[in-house]
């Protein structure tokens, strides 16, 4: 397993980290259990700082990872957690004015910054930054690329918005020149409304795809496209932009200007794309990688779905830009273990397979279920359990697309969270499969226990903790019926 190292143990071995070392500070992170901020905490700790943090809700997998790293977590945003005053407060973008901790920081004049700004100044400066952006697949693609570079012996640093399998943890300083960062288009902080990724100054930029999302801060797709245009403006002329040739929303972005090299990727072999997919198994468990129309190898792995094939394709392309031969990348991806909460199989009590997935958008739901369907075939029974928890889902922006997103399931249970701004019952009207809405976790568990039978595949989808539904369902199924 890949191991991260504290800077203090590697100063003589690593000139890059020697340049980055600072006097040890006491840093407190507000919103520390977010996937980005939690990863940031690990980097700050490995730079030799004393790190603590607060969050309103503490839940796995990030809380587990932080506690294992010896980082103190405080639940709630009471100002008491900021006493005595830390040397620096790093503020997550989930917090806004009116929050008790924010108001205390401002009134007490405690030095503060944003997570992306701190990352850019303390970690990314002087490194070959590979930024992975897009609506879908950022976490998986970032993990694939970090895994490939690590297997190639480049000892990369990375910050990933999830907990990868095989790499050990979600962030690492690394000993090498390369740094992979999951580049989110969400805003930076309450005092900086630019997208996070404009801070990173990548030399290699991956644009996976682009759809409308984050309806709580972006009024429309055009507003997100402007932020992606700003990202493109930061890529040097000697840098590289990798993007899928058939994504119309990204085409619009690139038409506004590109000042760097470009490489196109495609799901089909063609004359335009630099990298493309070749012959593939129906479920995506095996597929060819083509470069300039020539087969350079075949990936055979445990993942499924076209979306994961495309994630692998751009990872191979980006790794090649870092000097890794495609054959080495393909060999590394053939043993890639995946990412926690991305179709992660949690267990199979009573012969019922229970998966955890981070799906937060209709397209993500549809591609996740399609990947499983392609593996199981027409006879496999899929039960989807979905919590519309993301800000965009809560606002109902994509409610009309949600009905059709579950077409590959056999049955769907929707959970109605608090503060939902629209009537979830409307999704049932146009549902292509049997569907129900449940108002409580206990009732949802009761229905699942009643409906599930051996051989079923249950996919639990939420971008939060789902009130421990995964664990509670596994516990119930483990008991004698």
The share of the chain scoring above pLDDT 70, in percent, equals 90
Task: Look over the chain and give the mean of its residue pLDDT values, rounded to a whole number.
Answer: 86
Indicate if 445 and 301 belong to the same structural domain: no
Q: What is the pLDDT of residues 118-169, one digit of tens each?
A: 999 999 999 999 999 998 888 889 999 999 999 999 999 999 977 677 787 8
Predicted confidence at residue 10, as pLDDT, reads: 37
Indicate if 298 and 407 belong to the same structural domain: no
Instruction: State the total domains in the chain.
Output: 3
In a domain, 60, yes or no: yes
In a domain, 120, yes or no: no
Indicate if 158 and 261 belong to the same structural domain: yes
Domain stop point among 309, 333, 357? 333
At residue 16 the predicted structure's pLDDT band, cuts being 50, 70 and 90, is: very low
Q: Which of 38-42, 66-70, 227-231 has the lowest mean pLDDT?
A: 66-70
CB 99 within 8 A of CB 112: no
Indicate if 196 and 102 belong to the same structural domain: no
In a domain, 75, yes or no: yes
Predicted confidence at residue 396, as pLDDT, reads: 53
At residue 13 the predicted structure's pLDDT band, cuts being 50, 70 and 90, is: very low
Q: What is the pLDDT of residues 100-113, one digit of tens each?
A: 999 999 999 999 99
In a domain, 122, yes or no: no
Tell me the CATH number at 324.
Answer: 3.40.1190.10
CB 419 within 8 A of CB 394: yes
Q: What is the pLDDT of residues 40-60, one digit of tens each?
A: 999 999 999 999 999 997 767
pLDDT top residue among 463 and 456 = 456
Domain stop point among 304, 333, 362? 333
At residue 5 the predicted structure's pLDDT band, cuts being 50, 70 and 90, is: very low
Predicted confidence at residue 85, as pLDDT, reads: 97
Indicate if 381 and 417 belong to the same structural domain: yes
Indicate if 291 and 382 belong to the same structural domain: no
Could you list the residue range(s) of the whole structural domain that residue 18 is in? 7-115
In a domain, 230, yes or no: yes
Q: Is the pLDDT of residue 205 over 90?
A: yes
Indicate if 180 and 214 belong to the same structural domain: yes
In a domain, 2, yes or no: no
Indicate if 414 and 436 belong to the same structural domain: yes
In a domain, 338, yes or no: no
Tell me the CATH number at 26.
Answer: 3.40.50.720
The share of the chain scoring above pLDDT 90, in percent, equals 50
In a domain, 372, yes or no: yes
Predicted confidence at residue 41, as pLDDT, reads: 94
Tell me the CATH number at 392.
Answer: 3.90.190.20
At residue 324 the predicted structure's pLDDT band, cuts being 50, 70 and 90, is: very high
Q: Which of 209-213, 299-303, 354-358, 426-430 has the lowest mean pLDDT?
A: 426-430
Predicted confidence at residue 168, as pLDDT, reads: 76
Q: Is the pLDDT of residue 392 over 70?
A: no
Indicate if 353 and 284 belong to the same structural domain: no
Q: Is the pLDDT of residue 182 over 60?
A: yes
Indicate if 195 and 77 belong to the same structural domain: no
Q: Is the pLDDT of residue 61 over 80?
A: no
Predicted confidence at residue 391, as pLDDT, reads: 57
Indicate if 328 and 350 belong to the same structural domain: no
Q: Is the pLDDT of residue 340 over 70?
A: no
Predicted confidence at residue 20, as pLDDT, reads: 46
d(CA 166, CA 183): 21
Domain stop point among 89, 115, 141? 115
Indicate if 162 and 294 belong to the same structural domain: yes
Q: What is the pLDDT of residues 17-29, one digit of tens each?
A: 444 445 789 999 9
Q: What is the pLDDT of residues 398-443, one digit of tens each?
A: 566 787 888 888 989 988 777 676 677 777 777 888 888 888 888 8
Q: Is the pLDDT of residue 308 over 80?
A: yes
Q: Is the pLDDT of residue 270 over 70?
A: yes
């Amino acid at each position: 397993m890949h191991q991260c190292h504290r800077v203090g143990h590697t100063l003589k071995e690593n000139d890059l980290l020697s340049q980055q070392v600072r006097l040890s500070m006491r840093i407190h992170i507000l919103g520390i259990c977010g996937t980005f901020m939690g990863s940031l905490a690990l980097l700050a700790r490995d730079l030799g700082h004393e790190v603590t943090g607060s969050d309103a809700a503490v839940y796995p997998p990030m809380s587990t990872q932080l506690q294992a790293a010896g980082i103190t977590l405080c639940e709630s945003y009471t100002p008491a957690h900021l006493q005595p005053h830390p040397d620096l407060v790093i503020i997550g973008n989930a917090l806004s004015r009116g929050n008790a901790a924010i108001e205390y920081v401002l009134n007490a004049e405690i030095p503060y910054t944003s997570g992306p700004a701190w990352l850019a100044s303390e970690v990314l400066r002087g490194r070959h930054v590979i930024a992975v952006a897009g609506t879908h697949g950022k976490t998986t693609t970032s993990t694939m690329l970090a895994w490939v570079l690590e297997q190639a012996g480049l000892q990369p640093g990375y910050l990933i918005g999830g907990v990868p399998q095989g790499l050990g943890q979600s962030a690492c300083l690394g000993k090498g020149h390369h740094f992979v960062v999951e580049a989110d288009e969400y805003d930076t902080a309450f005092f900086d409304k630019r997208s996070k990724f404009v801070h990173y100054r990548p030399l290699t930029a991956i644009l996976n795809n682009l759809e409308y999302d984050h309806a709580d801060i972006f009024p429309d797709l055009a507003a997100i496209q402007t932020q992606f245009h700003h990202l493109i403006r930061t890529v040097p002329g000697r840098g590289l932009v990798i993007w899928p040739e058939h994504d119309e929303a990204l085409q619009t972005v690139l038409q506004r200007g590109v000042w760097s090299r470009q490489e196109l990727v495609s799901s089909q072999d063609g004359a335009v794309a630099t990298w493309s997919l070749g012959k593939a198994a129906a479920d995506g468990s095996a597929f060819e990688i083509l470069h300039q129309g020539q087969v350079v190898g075949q990936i055979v792995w445990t993942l499924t779905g076209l979306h994961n094939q495309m994630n692998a394709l751009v990872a191979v392309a980006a790794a090649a830009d870092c000097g890794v031969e495609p054959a080495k990348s393909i060999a590394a991806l053939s043993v890639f273990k995946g990412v926690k909460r991305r179709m992660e199989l949690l267990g199979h009590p009573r012969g019922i397979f229970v998966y955890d997935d981070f799906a937060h958008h209709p397209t993500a739901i549809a591609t996740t279920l399609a990947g499983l369907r392609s593996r199981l075939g027409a006879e496999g029974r899929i039960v989807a359990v979905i919590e519309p928890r993301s800000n965009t889902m809560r606002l109902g922006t994509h409610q009309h697309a949600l009905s059709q997103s579950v077409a590959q399931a056999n049955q769907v249970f929707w959970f109605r969270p608090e503060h939902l701004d629209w009537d979830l019952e409307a999704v049932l009207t146009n549902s292509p499969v049997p569907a129900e809405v449940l108002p409580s976790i206990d009732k949802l568990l009761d229905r699942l226990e009643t409906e599930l039978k051996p051989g079923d595949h249950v996919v639990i989808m939420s971008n939060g903790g789902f009130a421990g539904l995964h664990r509670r369902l596994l516990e119930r199924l483990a008991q004698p019926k």
